[in-house]
Structure 1
C-alpha cells in the first residue's frame, strides 16, 4: 500500500492510504489514534472496500473538535469519520449538532453505556494505568494512590514522576476530573507529585518513552492500550492497574453532520463495531473490545469479570459535558496548580 503525504496549509499533513483497486471514493478521517496503530484497521477496511482511498489526519483531540466546528460553521465539508480519545469533546460535538445519527447494524446490540443517541459510540475500553520502570522497583511498584504518595517522599522519586499536562491533554484532564470524584486525597497526591518534581507532557508516547529508558520511574494515568503495546516489546517497562480504583475511558467514534461522504463514515464506523474491527483492535492494537461478539481477555466483558468494582468506566452520556464547563474547568485547573505549588 502506497502512503503519500498531502499538503494542507491550515492544519497538519494527512496520510493518504491509496485504494488497493481503482479509486472510486475518498474517506477522510480525523483521529487521535497514532498512524502505526491505525494502519492495520485501514488496511482491513480497504480489503472489503478496495476502491476507497483513506485520507487520515492524526491530530490532538482539541484540534479535532476545533476543526470540525470551524469547517462546519464555515459551510465547508469536514471529516467523514472522527475517532477520538477525548470522550467529553466527542459528546459535546454530538450534543451541539456537529454529528449526525447513523444507522449501523450493530447499534441495536451495542451496550447502552457505549451509545449516545446513535451518534456517539464508545469503540474501545481503556484503563488508565501506572507505567513503571522495572529496574527502579526491585520489590514492585506502588499498587495504590496512597502507596504512590509514600513513594513520592523518597529521594529516588525526585524528578522521576510524569503524567499528562492536563491543561493541554484532553484525556489527561478527563482522568484528573474522574480522580477528583473517586479519590478524596487527590490533591495530596498531586501535591506530592509536585514536590517530587512532576514532569508533564501532552501525549502518552512522550511519557512512555521516558519511563521505558529510565528517565522517569513512573508514568501516572497513562492510556493502557499504548502502555501495554510498548511493554510487550520492552522487558524493562511494566504496567499496573492501581488496586484502589482504575478509571476506564473509551475512544469515541462519530460521523460529523458536515461529512462530505457520510455513507463512507458510517461504513467505517460499522467496520470498527464489527467482529473484524473489534478483533483487530483487541488483538493487534491492544485496544480492548466493547463488542459482546468478541471473546478473549482483552475485552470489556473479560476485564469486568476479572476486576469488578476496581474498574470505573466512563459512560458516553451528557454527563461528560460537565467536564467542559469553563468555570468548573478553570476551578479544577486552579486546584491542580495550587496543589503542585504546595
Structure 2
C-alpha cells in the first residue's frame, strides 16, 4: 500500500500526553475485518476489536508499512500508534507505572540507553519465541530487550551545491574537517547536525564518535566556527539540505536519509569511509501493558523474516536477522563496510550513556567546543 493510500486510512489525532506538555501524534489503524455476529440484535453486545497500543519514535511514514503488513496477517486487530519523542515516551512510561495506569503493549524507541534503563529497572516483561531466538546474541538481552533494526549515521549533502562549486563531498571525518577549514566562507551557516542536548540519537552517535575518532573535539570546534545549525530531528535537516538552506549534514540517520534521497535526487547520502556508527531501535513489552500478548504478537511479526523484510524494503530499516535477504543499502553497509561498522550491543553497557555526571561532562565539552572555548 502506498503512503498516500495509507494516510487516507490513518486517523491522526493530536493528544496531550500526561507526562509532557509536548504534543504527540496518534495514528489509528482500523481492523481490516470485524467479527461477524450471527444475530444482528446481539451486535450491540459484541466486543470491540482488540487494540494493540504501540509507543514508537519512528516516523509514521516509514513505520506504517509494517503495521499494514501485520494487519494483513491479523485482520481483526486494531493498532494505535503513538509517535513520540524518545524522552517523552520514557517519562510517560514511568508516570503511567507510578499512577497505576496501564502502559502501551509495546514500546519501540531509538534511544537505546533509555530503553535499556527501562528493562534494567524492571519495566519490561520477558518474552521468548522462535522469532526472538532467531536474533543474534548481541541483539537481545535477557529476553526483555530486543533490537529490531540496524541504522547507520551518514553524511548528507546538496548535490547541486557541490557541483556548482566544483568540490567533492567529504568521504571521511577528516575530509569533512578539511573541507570546512579550507572553505570556511562557503560553508558558513550551511552545515547541520543533531543537537545532542535534545536528541538522544545525536548524543549516542557523538559518544560513539569520541571512542573511535581521536579528533572529534577539534571537529566539533570547526562545526562551531561554521555556525552549525542544530536540530533534534532528522526530517527538517534533510529537507533543508535538499532545498539548499544548508548544504551539508553530519551524523544524520541513514534510514531516513536513504528514503528521502529516493524522493529527492538532489540529496546525496554518504556512508563514511573511515567508520560507520550503527545503532538499533529497541523494543520492550512493558510489565504493565494493557494487552502484552498483542505486544508480543506484533514484536514477533517485526522480528520474523517477513516483518524484517518489510521494515527493510519499505522503510529502509536495515534488518537485524542474518537470514533476511539484504537490500543494496544493507549490503553496502554490512558486506562492503563490515569491518568498519561500529555497533551498540543491546545490554547494560548502554547505561554508561545515562550516567549523569559523565553525561554532563560530555555535554559541557560539546558546548565548549561549539563555542570554541578551550
TM-score normalized with structure 2 length: 0.88
Corresponding residue number in structure 2 for 1:17: 29
Corresponding residue number in structure 1 for 2:171: 143
1:215 to 245, 267, 285: 245
> Do the aligned partners of 1:296 and 1:302 also contact (CA within 8 Å) in 2?
no
- Structure 1 segments, 4+ long, off by >2 Å, are 1-13, 296-305
Moved more, 136-145 or 41-50: 136-145
The one-character-per-residue Cα deviations of 1:66-112 (angstroms, maximum 9, x if unpaired) are 11111112111011011111111111110011111112222222101
- Displacement of 1:167 after TM fit? 0.4
- Report 1:111-260 matches (<5 A): 111-138=136-163, 139-153=167-181, 154=183, 155-260=185-290
- Displacement of 1:254 after TM fit? 1.1
**3-state SS, counterpart of residue 129 of structure 1:** strand
- Displacement of 1:144 after TM fit? 1.0
Corresponding residue number in structure 2 for 1:95: 120
Corresponding residue number in structure 2 for 1:66: 91
> Do the aligned partners of 1:297 and 1:303 also contact (CA within 8 Å) in 2?
no
How far apart, CA to CA, are the structure 1 residues paired with 2:195 and 2:78? 35
Moved more, 85-94 or 300-309: 300-309
> Do the aligned partners of 2:313 and 2:327 also contact (CA within 8 Å) in 1?
no
Corresponding residue number in structure 2 for 1:271: 301
- Displacement of 1:54 after TM fit? 0.6
How far apart, CA to CA, are the structure 2 residues paired with 1:89 and 1:294? 28
- Displacement of 1:119 after TM fit? 0.9
Corresponding residue number in structure 2 for 1:51: 76
- Displacement of 1:9 after TM fit? 3.6
> Do the aligned partners of 2:261 and 2:267 also contact (CA within 8 Å) in 1?
yes
How far apart, CA to CA, are the structure 2 residues paired with 1:100 and 1:221? 33
> Do the aligned partners of 1:290 and 1:299 also contact (CA within 8 Å) in 2?
no
How far apart, CA to CA, are the structure 1 residues paired with 2:187 and 2:54? 41
> Do the aligned partners of 2:25 and 2:84 also contact (CA within 8 Å) in 1?
no
1:32 to 57, 64, 89: 57
How far apart, CA to CA, are the structure 2 residues paired with 1:126 and 1:301? 13
How far apart, CA to CA, are the structure 2 residues paired with 1:130 and 1:24? 44
- Displacement of 1:298 after TM fit? 5.0
2:10 to 3, 6, 13: 3
- Report 1:289-300 matches (<5 A): 289-297=319-327
**3-state SS, counterpart of residue 171 of structure 1:** helix
How far apart, CA to CA, are the structure 2 residues paired with 1:302 and 1:261? 39
Structure 1: tracts of 5 or more residues without a match? none
**3-state SS, counterpart of residue 278 of structure 2:** strand
How far apart, CA to CA, are the structure 1 residues paired with 2:9 and 2:261? 29
Aligned-residue CA RMSD (Å) = 1.5
Distance 1:9 1:143, change over 3 A: closer
- Displacement of 1:220 after TM fit? 0.6
**3-state SS, counterpart of residue 252 of structure 2:** strand
| Residue correspondences, number | 342
The one-character-per-residue Cα deviations of 1:213-261 (angstroms, maximum 9, x if unpaired) are 1111111101100000011111111000111111000111111111010
> Do the aligned partners of 2:110 and 2:280 also contact (CA within 8 Å) in 1?
yes
Distance 1:220 1:16, change over 3 A: same
How far apart, CA to CA, are the structure 2 residues paired with 1:4 and 1:208? 26
TM-score normalized with structure 1 length: 0.96
- Displacement of 1:300 after TM fit? 5.9
Corresponding residue number in structure 2 for 1:281: 311
**3-state SS, counterpart of residue 154 of structure 2:** strand
Moved more, 16-25 or 79-88: 16-25
How far apart, CA to CA, are the structure 2 residues paired with 1:39 and 1:223? 18
Structure 2: tracts of 5 or more residues without a match? 1-7, 19-23, 35-47
Corresponding residue number in structure 1 for 2:39: none
Distance 1:339 1:7, change over 3 A: closer
> Do the aligned partners of 2:123 and 2:286 also contact (CA within 8 Å) in 1?
yes
